[in-house]
Amino acid sequence: MTIRTQVIPDSGVKTAVPALEPLLVEIHEEGRAGRHVRGGEEADALIPAAFARKAPLGLPELSEPQVVRHFTHLAQLNYAVDTGMYPLGSCTMKYNPKINDRVASLFADLHPKQPQSTVQGALTLLAELEGMLAKLTGMDAVTLQPAAGAQAEFTAILMFKAYHQKRGEGAKRHRVIVPDTAHGTNPASAAMCGFQVTTVKSDPHGNIDLASLKAALGDDVVGLMLTNPNTLGLFEERLREVCDAVHAVGGLVYGDGANMNALLGVARPGDLGFDCIHINVHKTFSTPHGAGGPGAGPLCVKEPLRAFLPKPWIVRDEQGRYHLDTARDDQPPAGLGDSIGRVRTFLGNFGVLVRAYTYMRTLGEEGLAEASNDAILAANYLLAQLREHYDVAFDRACMHEFVLSASRQKKQGVSALDVAKALIDEGFHPPTVYFPLVVPEALMIEPTETEPRETLDAFAAAMIRIAERAKTDPASVKASPVHAPLARLDEVTAARNPKLKWQRPT
């Protein structure tokens, strides 16, 4: 990797920084070829003239090592779970065991349209995964189709709609209740299903405010979407009362299970009062994710919602063989029944589901419980080290993540964003910032169970150093990062005057 020297503002100290990698078109040189196979002309002659290209393709011309080095340099600029701690709250960036990929690769040659009789192993795996998820969450039935948490939310709210319609209450129920700490996908999913969103505030302990919830409830309510532990990393202390209140007006309770990493083998959402819950297997079950995918969001439901699950269902016949129940409206007499239909092609994000299955089978029930307990321990260990140095949003024992506030630092001129940027220079991926919205200058930290104690200590030390610098030298924090190939981006110009296409420098 090329290195350039950068002078740190204010101090004048020189530092080595990896240089930005030029684009392939920028290092292109006409006539330089990457092809080393002799006899290429003979091969070209085999292509019928009608199919031969008339004009050159216009790709950059480079030698093979140049291309390989280009992509290797880009990979070296990357920050990943495989290179260091990734405390991005709410995202559960735990280490992804490589055996997951190994097992997924065993299925790489399958075609989604293969006859069902030839994919019995794949169907068995999916059926077993459904059973394992149902058991772990305390639910009765599962669909593996949704490709993300957000899509599972959308699927569930469509099912809620179908459920109320079936009971003749579709017309009057049009409101979905969402707490003010919810992930943005919750209200978005409700709105996409055509429902109005009612926001309910949190109480001083970081729980959903029960009195406000009760005031918002009525027989026009479709249901409540609740995350537990919530996005503050806190267990909803009056969960049973919350669920009972929603059920009392005929509403359903949706569990946003993105935070299941705190509950595996510890508590089952089905026992806590939820009617359904989604699992972000790319978070909780260690399948690699980031930058928008790939993921999977299996949705686990209680018996009354089973009939509305997306089709096809994986069903087992008397001989123990699996097949897909693909019955559709145009195939009487079975029809779709009450199912809301398909929400994704084929059987969902199969490779991701195989990884989740492998993770669960390698850890076993005890291992999963240990993972959750360790995740909770790691978060509380960090919180204990940091609580003197930053404001704590809600001073309670946390679950698998916690939310600090940089309000104190803000008075010294250093914002949550500045703290996050300074962490880059300390060699860590920044935490989630400015979420949840109810905490000013929020820093949301989720260490996960896979970090060794030395790494947790190093992270805490880095956070404490930044808090000290905010007191003594806030300008240096605001100037960070200085060890990254790019410093601060000019976000205002990027928004006002975006350059969306590469242009050859003139």
Ligand X SMILES: *Cc1c(COP(=O)(O)O)cnc(C)c1O
Q: What stretch of H or E contains 379?
A: helix 350-386
Shorter beta-carbon distance to ligand X: residue 160 or 322: 160
Tell me: does residue 284 bind ligand X (CB under 6 A). no
Please report how close the Cβ of residue 434 comes to ligand X at its closest, in angstroms.
15
Please report how close the Cβ of residue 282 comes to ligand X at its closest, in angstroms.
6
Shorter beta-carbon distance to ligand X: residue 189 or 198: 189
Among 21, 130, 209, 256, binds ligand X (CB under 6 A): 256
Instruction: Give the residue carrying structure tokens 């960090």.
Output: 382
Which residues, in sequence order, are bridge partners of residue 252? 223
User: Quick one: CA dihedral 158, 160, 162, 165, positive or negative?
Assistant: negative
Among 206, 250, 295, 481, binds ligand X (CB under 6 A): 295
List the x/- string, 461-490, binding to ligand X by CB under 6 A.
Answer: ------------------------------
Shorter beta-carbon distance to ligand X: residue 156 or 470: 156
Question: 98-105 and 350-386 are packed helices; what angle lies between their axes, rounded to 10 degrees?
Answer: 170
Residues 314-373 close enough to bind ligand X by CB under 6 A: none
Among 137, 227, 287, 372, binds ligand X (CB under 6 A): 227
Please report how close the Cβ of residue 90 comes to ligand X at its closest, in angstroms.
4
Tokens of 270: 């089905």
Tell me: does residue 173 bind ligand X (CB under 6 A). no
Tokens of 90: 């709410």
Distance CA 268, CA 367 (A): 16
Shorter beta-carbon distance to ligand X: residue 285 or 322: 285
Please report how close the Cβ of residue 285 comes to ligand X at its closest, in angstroms.
12
Tokens of 239: 């969960």
Shorter beta-carbon distance to ligand X: residue 448 or 480: 448
Residues 76-115 close enough to bind ligand X by CB under 6 A: 90
Residues 16 and 5: beta-carbon distance below 8 Å = yes
Tell me: does residue 231 bind ligand X (CB under 6 A). yes
Shorter beta-carbon distance to ligand X: residue 308 or 435: 435
How many chain residues interact with ligand X (CB under 6 A)? 13
Cα within 13 Å of Cα(93), Cβ side: 24
Tell me: does residue 430 bind ligand X (CB under 6 A). no
Tell me: does residue 268 bind ligand X (CB under 6 A). no
Residues 178-207 close enough to bind ligand X by CB under 6 A: 183, 185
Q: In a 3-state reduction of DSSP, which class is residue 342?
A: coil
Please report how close the Cβ of residue 214 comes to ligand X at its closest, in angstroms.
24
Shorter beta-carbon distance to ligand X: residue 250 or 295: 295
HEC profile for 116-138?
Answer: HHHCHHHHHHHHHHHHHHHHHHC
HEC profile for 155-166?
Answer: HHHHHHHHHHHH
Residues 436-455 close enough to bind ligand X by CB under 6 A: none
Distance CA 416, CA 432 (A): 10
Please report how close the Cβ of residue 211 comes to ligand X at its closest, in angstroms.
24
Residues 279 and 256: beta-carbon distance below 8 Å = no
Among 62, 143, 149, 272, binds ligand X (CB under 6 A): 149
Shorter beta-carbon distance to ligand X: residue 103 or 150: 150
Cα within 13 Å of Cα(425), Cβ side: 20
Among 150, 158, 264, 272, binds ligand X (CB under 6 A): 150
Distance CA 159, CA 241 (A): 24
Tell me: does residue 280 bind ligand X (CB under 6 A). yes
Listed residue (30, 185, 65, 90) closest to 447, CA to CA = 90
HEC profile for 221-261?
Answer: EEEEEEECCCCCCCCCCCHHHHHHHHHHCCCEEEEEHHHHH
Please report how close the Cβ of residue 374 comes to ligand X at its closest, in angstroms.
19
Shorter beta-carbon distance to ligand X: residue 88 or 314: 88
Q: Which stretch binds ligand X (CB under 6 A): 22-30, 32-40, 148-156, 498-506?
A: 148-156
Q: Which stretch binds ligand X (CB under 6 A): 46-54, 142-150, 155-163, 170-178?
A: 142-150
DSSP state string for 274-309: -SEEE--HHHHT-----TT------EEE-GGGGGGS
Distance CA 195, CA 213 (A): 18
Number of residue whose CB is nearest ligand X: 149
Site residues (CB under 6 A) for ligand X?
90, 148-150, 183, 185, 227, 231, 256, 258, 280, 295, 297
